Amino acid sequence: LSQNEDDQLLDQTLTEYVETSTLGEYDTKQRWWNH
């Protein structure tokens, strides 16, 4: 991997992690509110 490709991969992983975390928190809050 070139440095640029490595950065893109890291950026993509971080983006997916953040999206997953945010959705996970949102889903948890929704379930909590629905109880």
pLDDT for 15: 83
How far does CA 1 lie from the centroid of its chain? 23
pLDDT for 1: 61
pLDDT for 23: 72
With beta carbons less than 8 A apart as the criterion, state whether 1 and 9 touch.
yes
Q: What is the pLDDT of residues 9-28, one digit of tens each?
A: 888 888 888 777 777 777 77
* DSSP string of 1-35, one letter each residue: --HHHHHHHHHHHHHHHHHHHHHHHHHHHHHHHH-
Structure tokens at 2: 């070139």
Instruction: Please give the residue that has the higher pLDDT: either 3 or 8.
Output: 8
Structure tokens at 29: 């809050």
pLDDT for 30: 77
Arithmetic mean of pLDDT over the chain: 79
